[in-house]
Amino acid sequence: GQNIDQPTEMTATEGAIVQINCTYQTSGFNGLFWYQQHAGEAPTFLSYNVLDGLEEKGRFSSFLSRSKGYSYLLLKELQMKDSASYLCAVMDSNYQLIWGAGTKLIIKP
């Protein structure tokens, strides 16, 4: 079966760095997405990785290792507004998005 695993919840301090991991087992691979979702709102696109390596976008970076079925989202200089759920999703061989359950990130002052 297809499976996306990510931690349920993480806590970090304002100004610090946090890494949210995602491991996946899917039928085929056509890219991995990270989305941010604030409560009651639709997800917002953060990053897309299809090749191995690190993609940096400002305070957010995303890493992919296809051989390990592994990705992480790195958030630097955390701000209170970063408190949200972070969703990992993989596009499989049928170009369907397989979603993880999301990681709730709590930022403390």
Partner 1 sequence: GAVVSQHPSRVICKSGTSVKIECRSLDFQATTMFWYRQFPKQSLMLMATSNEGSKATYEQGVEKDKFLINHASLTLSTLTVTSAHPEDSSFYICSASGGRDTEAFFGQGTRLTVV
Q: Burial-class residue 42 by CB neighbours within 10 Å (0-12, 13-18, 19+).
A: exposed
Q: Could you say which residues in the range 12-41 bind partner 1, by CB under 8 A?
A: 30, 33, 35, 40-41
CB atoms within 10 A of CB 70: 15
58 binds partner 1, rule: CB under 8 A: no
- AA letter at 8: T
Classified as helix, coil or strand, 82 is: helix
Q: Helices (H), strands (E): how many in the chain?
A: 0, 11
45 binds partner 1, rule: CB under 8 A: yes
Tell me the window of 19-27, 57-65, 71-79, 98-106 that interacts with partner 1 (CB under 8 A). 98-106
87 binds partner 1, rule: CB under 8 A: yes
95 binds partner 1, rule: CB under 8 A: yes
Residues at the site binding partner 1, with contacts judged by CB under 8 A: 30, 33, 35, 40-45, 48, 87, 95-97, 99-102
